[in-house]
Amino acid sequence: MAKYTKVHFITECYHGCPFFNNVGQEMQCDHPFYLDKSNLKTAYDNMIITQQNSHGRVPDACPLKKDEVTEVVMRVRLSL
């Protein structure tokens, strides 16, 4: 198996972050922190992104600000 590692530095939210997700009219953060349901109080806790707090900066509630590094492993395989 070939391994490839890429370090992605985040300088802004919105389309500058791989965890940004635009669901219909709403913008949400898909960071693994929000996949753990014990971290959520409501179904909308991961909707921390707005037009005002995402362009050119990272929202204050961003989980990346709490962790020094978040490592995401993605496995890519050809489907036949």
Does residue 45 sit in helix, strand or coil?
coil
Q: Report the pLDDT value the prediction gives residue 3, as an integer from 0 to 100.
A: 85
Assess whether pLDDT exceeds 90 at residue 66.
no
Which residues are CB-contacts of 64 (< 8 A; sequence separation ≥ 6)? 10, 17, 19, 31, 58, 70
Task: Kindly indicate the confidence band of residue 59, based on its pLDDT and cuts at 50, 70 and 90.
Answer: very high
Q: How many domains does the chain have?
A: 1
Each residue of 12-31: pLDDT tens digit?
A: 888 889 899 988 888 999 99
Structural domain boundaries, residue 34:
1-80
Higher pLDDT, 62 or 2: 62
Task: Kindly indicate the confidence band of residue 46, based on its pLDDT and cuts at 50, 70 and 90.
Answer: very high
> Model pTM?
0.76
